[in-house]
Homo-oligomer: A and B are copies of this chain.
Amino acid sequence: MQVKREIPLYEQIYIKLRDSILHEEIKPGERLVDSRIAGQLKVSRGPVREAFRKLEQEGLITNSEGIIEVYVPSLQDVLELYQVRVGLEAVSVYWATHYMTKEQLDELYKSLLETEKAVKLKNLPEVIKLNTYFHESIVSYSKNKRLQLLMSNIRSLVFLYRNTIFNQYNRDHYFLSEHRGILDAIKEREPSLAAKRMELHIYNDMNHFKEYFLMHKEKEAELQNIKKHTE
């Protein structure tokens, strides 16, 4: 019999802070002070500092001259993350094509139908959920643990950014056919084709994100202008 050792405090604090950052209870750019957090959580500063080091290595917080702040991704950062995703998800689907069973594939086709429904109903949260499911499934079917680890880190950062700057960017329904194209390539057991389609899909996604971002910034600038003139 194995007796489980309880999870150490620094690990619990790490998870708690990580979640708080991803759920925006702690906002990007916000400063983190070990003593303050230790006080809030009623623990000593030691474990809090250890948690900081983990978050720092993960990229969720920055440490510049001893000043700890929640990571604030720039557009450049997000584009770089997308480029990395292109590489990693292409490899994912390449190997997933080798390993996925017919049942697993059918499941994804089914989920795709649900996504279509959700798009028609303009149920955005559901669309996002299903879209995430699509990508995460394929990554997990790659049977590559490291790929999964890297992708989960990246997803955190992209997720953080999206929720930070604007609630969601409204993607059109074009991605449905792209998803279908990827599944079709898997069905035909053509890993390279599947990878190619995944690449294009994510590049498209990236470009839409970029456009939406710039549009958003423009609007913001306009608002600033109006504000200035009325002052």
Contact flags A1-43 to B (C-beta < 8 A → 1, else 0): 0000100101000000000000000000000000000000000
Q: Is A187 positioned at the interface, with any CB of B under 8 Å from its CB? A: no
B57 A147 Cβ-Cβ under 8 A:
no
Least Cβ–Cβ distance between A157 and chain B, in angstroms: 9
Binds B, one of A47-55, A103-111, A169-177, A222-230: A47-55
Alpha-carbon distance A66/B4, docked complex (angstroms): 11
B150 A77 Cβ-Cβ under 8 A:
no
Interface residues of A (CB under 8 A from B): 5, 8, 10, 46, 49-51, 53-54, 56-58, 65-66, 77, 80-81, 83-84, 86-92, 95, 142, 144-147, 150
Closest to A49 in B: B50
B5 A144 Cβ-Cβ under 8 A:
no
A84 B150 Cβ-Cβ under 8 A:
yes
Alpha-carbon distance A145/B49, docked complex (angstroms): 26
**With A66-B5, A87-B88, A88-B88 as given contacts, are A81 and B50 in contact (CB-CB < 8 Å)?**
no
A84 B53 Cβ-Cβ under 8 A:
no
B54 A147 Cβ-Cβ under 8 A:
no
Chain B residues with CB under 8 Å of A87's CB are 87-92, 147
Chain B residues with CB under 8 Å of A46's CB are 46, 49
Chain B residues with CB under 8 Å of A142's CB are 83
Within 8 Å by CB of A144, from B66, B84, B145, B150, lies B84
Alpha-carbon distance A51/B49, docked complex (angstroms): 11
Alpha-carbon distance A150/B147, docked complex (angstroms): 11
**With A5-B65, A65-B5 as given contacts, are A147 and B84 in contact (CB-CB < 8 Å)?**
yes
Least Cβ–Cβ distance between A8 and chain B, in angstroms: 7
Within 8 Å by CB of A83, from B49, B81, B144, lies B144
For A49, A53, A66, A86, the residue with the greatest tally of chain B CB atoms inside 10 Å of its CB is: A53
Within 8 Å by CB of A77, from B5, B58, B83, B146, lies B146
For A46, A81, A83, the residue with the greatest tally of chain B CB atoms inside 10 Å of its CB is: A83
